[in-house]
Amino acid sequence: MVYGFFVVFMRKKRGGRWGKKYEDKRDWKEYNEELVRRGELYLSLDFLERWGEEVRKMNEGKRGRPFRFPEAFVEWMALLHVWFFMPFRQMEGFLRALSQHAPLEPADYTTLFKRIKGLKLDLSSTIVAGSDVVIAVDSTGIRVTNRGEWMREKWNNHRGWIKVHLSVDVESKQILGLEITNEEVGDADMFPSLLEQSKANSKGVIKVLADGAYDDRHAFNLLKKGGIESGIKTRSNASTKSHGSLYRAQCVRERQNLGYKEWSKKKGYGKRWGVEGVISVVKRIFGETVRAASIQGMYREMRTKLLAYNILLNMI
């Protein structure tokens, strides 16, 4: 505790990290207006214009009971479910009241549950692709219960976590790649998938920023193969021998020759905090827990929240 206080005191005395004073360059008037417009997006009824046409196409060649509700409507209800933490029975009541003011047919909660459960959530449809993208990669844990730590200790109840792995465009702050796993999956294991998704959802990735959890020879080999610059933080005592990755050895020598501070400036490593910012925003808007009971339900709920973040970001 004494050491932590000393570090904070010295940073304040120097004027910030590495002696730099923090400058708040945000346009607060514009930022406030973005938050106000976010409220308008929650009640966007654009799907009503395509209701009849979409249902007709969905039922072409279908055998059995026809669809009554278009996919766009179900997606909208799924977003309301995670935005407002609205249980399915309350969603039925919400639609019953809304149908008195808008030309839509209310759905019962069992239909909503089944249709939302069967949604094919596509990340690429929520992205405005950029070119020469720099991505930051990280992961975070999501609690699967709201039960407090005292209850966990008293009743020895450990329900674990689910783990969200993200790759984020450091400029636009869009999520370009995501994976959701259990808590036992390592960060480096998900790196290949995040990189491939990021390349598919952009017009070219030129650099990857990541912390020491991704200091893995396979990750460096993937970057070398794709002609992508590494901004992965290698361990301070890492060996300069190749050990299966010549590119990693080259990156280790570069950091040792420059020193961490100069290496960080050269690589723009500070922009890696863009992914930390996205994680913070998602947790503040949608919460730090999931409410679904099944594992697949938890994964689906968290994926919906992350896609909702992209939708909000690109519509504001």
Report pLDDT digits (tens) over 138-193.
Answer: 999 998 866 555 555 555 655 678 999 999 999 999 999 999 998 889 999 999 99
pLDDT score of 27? 85
End-to-end, the C-alpha distance of the chain in Å comes to: 42
Lowest mean pLDDT among 68-82, 138-152, 190-204: 138-152
pLDDT score of 9? 45
Give which of 92, 115, 95, 116 is closest to 104, Cα–Cα: 95
Q: How many CB atoms lie within 10 A of CB 308?
A: 23
What integer is the mean pLDDT of 257-283? Answer: 94
In the predicted model, is pLDDT for residue 7 greater than 50? no
pLDDT score of 3? 42
Give which of 189, 193, 187 is closest to 210, Cα–Cα: 187
In the predicted model, is pLDDT for residue 35 greater than 90? no
Give the pLDDT band (50/70/90) at residue 296.
confident
- 179 three-class SS: strand
- 239 three-class SS: coil
Q: Which pTM does this prediction carry? A: 0.81
pLDDT score of 4? 47
Quote the crossing angle between the two packed helices 295-315 and 273-286, to the nearest 10°: 110
In the predicted model, is pLDDT for residue 2 greater than 50? no
Give the pLDDT band (50/70/90) at residue 47.
confident
d(CA 255, CA 267): 10
In the predicted model, is pLDDT for residue 42 greater than 80? no
Only one residue has tokens 């947790």, namely 283
Return the structure tokens found at 207. 């650099």
CB proximity list for 120: less than 8 A, separation 6 or greater:
none
Domain annotation for the chain: domains and CATH numbers = 2-36 (no CATH), 42-117 (no CATH), 124-293 (3.30.420)
For residue 139, report the phi and psi dihedrals to the nearest 5 degrees: -140, 165
Question: What does 65-99 look like in DSSP terms, one character per residue?
Answer: SPP-S-HHHHHHHHHHHHHTT--HHHHHHHHHHHT
pLDDT score of 94? 92
